[in-house]
Structure 1
Amino acid sequence: MTTTDLHAFLEGAVVEEAVAALRPDYRALLLAVDGLQPEDAGAPTDPATEAFLVDAEGSARAALAAGPVEELPHVAAWREAYRAFGAKPQRTRNSLEALLRRAGAGLPRVNRLTDVYNAVSVLHQLPLGGEDLQRYVGSPQLRRATGAETFDTAADGGPAVEHPEPGEVVWCDDAGVTCRRWNWRQGVRTRLTPSTTTAFFVLDALDPLTDAQLHAAADDLVEHLAPLGPDVSAVRRQVGRPPMN
């Protein structure tokens, strides 16, 4: 894809007013990355990515040594956001909290792209999701669900279709829900795979995380994605509350 294509994809992204009204402090930094080289399916994480994951695991252990995960400022903010649309954070944890809780025993090793963004999520303490941009139908939209939308997932070892609850905050494209409960669970259709060459990342922020911290996390992500292809290019766009000076 060309840089123009990446910009057009991001320019079409929308955060609906109903979501902004729910959390006026919400911002998302959207990152579209092209030129990634496919990796061998089933291959172990490369040494650089493995070292990055180990650093993230150490960072998580240090953060949790000071107190419970739910008391970390950005985790606490996301717990409140979940309660605002009716989700119970004890049962459906935001992606940042879920990773931090796993870090003590070791973060998952999934594939190179997923491993990199999980490490960035933990190191910068913000929810971060990644998807295959070429599997999108139209541009991403963050909205409150009607309940009629479809979400493709897996259950009992096979494919399944679910529907979000009315009022639930969901990421969608023109074909259905791509991520439920803001940043809780991603769908199967758009997930990253070893063959992904064009990726889309969502970095989520609520106060007290600053815009500078949000962009620093994106810089770190781009830095670790750059070696994953000979001609990696990235464009970004911040949506939600306008950047603060």
Structure 2
Amino acid sequence: MSLSASPASTALDDWLAQATVAPEITALRPDYRALLIVADGLVPGPSDEVSERLLAEAERTVTERYAGGSYEDDPHVRAWREAFQAAGMKPKRTRPSADALLRRVPAGLPRINRLTDIYNAVSIAHAVPLGGEDLDHYRGAPRLERAVGDEEFATVAGGEPAVETAAPGEPIWRDDLGVTCRRWNWRQCVRTQLTLTTTRAFFVLDALGAMDDEALAAAGEALVRGLTEASPGVRTATRVVTGPRPEED
């Protein structure tokens, strides 16, 4: 289904229904689930009072939660490090996204734009890897799989546009044109990144067993609340997707 024209909420649901998680991801982590959220009618722009308040509140929440301890002891953060290691990635060199954000909280997170700030606030407040993509630059259905090794990833190197290829076996989110996020949730491509003109977005909340379904749903609800506050006319659709279980093979 094409999403080149502004879709109704039913079209958003239809598009989400095409998202898949490959069997090799399930074999790696049977407890993996992704909460997918599509939003249409967003009001883009630079960081503002709404996104600043949400992100500042999340930073305070994190600081209070881990006072006297460390975010590294969070069960979900530990689970993601284990998942990265099992997939052949070094979690201290290429950190899961929530891990990377949480370690920056004491110095304060960068303010990027109102949409990115909102999803970063949810990510740290709920200790969940969370990424956002510009839906207008997405082509085809989203799918999570392990790379063959020839999938293209649009990035920036030395301040200039560059194209890399994913390493064989690494978990990647991709569409028909190439990789949209490398190493499960480590780094997003520049082609689909949220910008100051994004009005339609696709969000992925990555969960392992250490985050139960209720906590995952709460994180998704927090994201929808934040987006709705910043963009009162927004329409959203959600879906939880998992890979095939052994009995489904």
- TM-score, scaled relative to structure 2: 0.92
Matches within 5 A, 1:1-245: 1-39=7-45, 43=46, 45-240=47-242
Shift of 1:229: 2.9
Structure 1: 4+ residue segments shifted above 6 A: none
Mapped contact 1:29–1:203 kept (Cα < 8 A): yes
Shift of 1:63: 3.2
State how far apart, in whole Å, the 2-side matches of 1:68 and 1:123 are: 14
Contact 2:172 2:184 in 1 (8 A): yes
Pairwise CA distance, 1:79: 0.2
1:30-60 CA deviation, whole Å, 9 max, x = no partner? 0000011232xxx4x2212211111111122
* Cα distance change on mapping 1:231 and 1:195 into 2, 3 Å: same
CA contact (8 A) 1:33 1:235 kept: yes
Q: Deviations over 1:7-45 (max 9, x none)?
A: 121111000000011000000000000011232xxx4x2
Give the TM-score taking structure 1 as reference length.
Answer: 0.94
Distance 1:105 1:13 in 2: 36
For the aligned residues, what is the CA RMSD? 1.3
Code of the residue aligned with 1:65 in structure 2: it is A
Distance 2:169 2:137 in 1: 26
- How big is each residue's C-alpha offset from its partner over 1:138-189, in whole Å with a ceiling of 9 and x where there is no partner? 0101000000100000000010111111100000000000000000000000
Larger mean CA deviation between 154-163 and 221-230 belongs to: 221-230
For the residues of structure 2 that align with 1:63 and 1:157, how far apart are their CA atoms?
37
Q: What is the SS of the residue equivalent to 1:147?
A: coil
Instruction: Report the AA paired with residue 53 of structure 1.
Output: L
| Separation (CA, whole Å) in 2 of partners of 1:163 and 1:24 | 26
Aligned residue type for 2:30: P
- Helix, strand or coil for the counterpart of 1:82? helix
Q: Secondary structure at the match of 1:171?
A: strand
The answer to whether the Cα contact below 8 Å between 2:44 and 2:114 also exists between their aligned partners in 1 is no
- Alpha-carbon distance, 1:241 to partner: 6.0
Unaligned runs of 5+ in 1: none
Alpha-carbon shift at residue 3 of structure 1 (Å): 1.2
For 1:66 and 1:73, the matched residues in 2 are separated by: 16
- The answer to whether the 8 A contact 1:25-1:241 is kept is no
- How far the C-alpha of 1:67 sits from its partner, in A, is 2.5
Q: Which amino acid aligns with 2:175?
A: D
How many residues get paired?
Answer: 238
Between the aligned residues of both structures, percent identity stands at 55
Out of 223-232 and 151-160, give the one that drifted further: 223-232
Decide whether the 8 Å contact of 2:16 with 2:239 is kept in 1.
Answer: yes
The structure-2 alpha-carbon separation of the partners of 1:54 and 1:38, relative to structure 1 and needing over 3 Å to count, comes to closer
Q: Aligned partners of 2:103, 2:64: CA distance in 1, in Å?
A: 13
